[in-house]
């Protein structure tokens, strides 16, 4: 039950981040770059959630011959989501914006992007370490 509460708390934080996001001037090249990053980060989170659903479904052992595939594929989806998160946050585009002065301290949108990414990472990590059903 503790895990479920931690996952819910982390998920609600991501929802609050998304609801509070203000994109601002979308004619800015940096804003558009961050918007694309947000889309990729959100996709990573969706992919991890779908993967965790497959893992849980497979662990129910109700469909012999499919369960193992569901569990393995779900785990791979979660791992791929974490790779995507790392690729986005460690990208040359992100580094270039930081070097040009678009840092979390100097840009409200960049600060919000980092906050969202950090909160999403907590959810990804929780899903990756989801307890095994017995």
Looking at the domain assignment, is residue 18 inside a domain? yes
Looking at the domain assignment, is residue 68 inside a domain? yes
- Render each residue's pLDDT in the chain as its tens digit; 134 residues: 899 999 999 999 999 999 988 766 677 899 999 999 999 999 999 999 999 999 999 999 999 989 999 999 999 999 999 999 999 999 999 999 999 999 999 999 999 999 999 999 999 999 999 988 76
Looking at the domain assignment, is residue 133 inside a domain? no
User: What is the span of the domain harbouring residue 85?
Assistant: 2-128
- The residue assigned the tokens 């980092």 is 114
Give how far the C-alpha of residue 91 lies from the chain's centroid of Cα atoms, to the nearest Å.
Answer: 15
Report pLDDT for 21. Answer: 83
Q: To which H or E segment does residue 36 belong?
A: helix 29-59
Quick check: 106 and 1 in contact, CB under 8 A?
Answer: no
Looking at the domain assignment, is residue 108 inside a domain? yes
The total domain count for the chain is 1
Looking at the domain assignment, is residue 7 inside a domain? yes
The reply to whether the predicted model has a pTM over 0.85 is: yes
How many residues comprise the chain? 134
Looking at the domain assignment, is residue 134 inside a domain? no
Beta strand segments in 1-134, E: none
């Amino acid at each position: 039950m503790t895990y479920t509460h931690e996952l819910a708390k982390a998920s609600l934080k991501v929802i609050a981040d998304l609801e509070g996001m203000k994109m601002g001037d979308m004619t800015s090249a940096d804003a558009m770059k961050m918007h694309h990053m947000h889309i990729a980060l959100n996709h990573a989170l969706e992919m991890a959630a779908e993967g965790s659903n497959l893992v849980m479904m497979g662990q129910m052992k109700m469909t012999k011959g499919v369960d193992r595939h569901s569990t393995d594929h779900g785990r791979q989806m979660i791992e791929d989501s974490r790779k995507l998160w790392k690729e986005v946050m460690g990208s040359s585009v992100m580094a270039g914006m930081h070097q040009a002065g678009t840092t979390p301290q100097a840009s409200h949108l960049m600060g919000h992007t980092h906050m969202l990414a950090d909160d999403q990472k907590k959810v990804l990590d929780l899903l990756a370490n989801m307890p095994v059903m017995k």
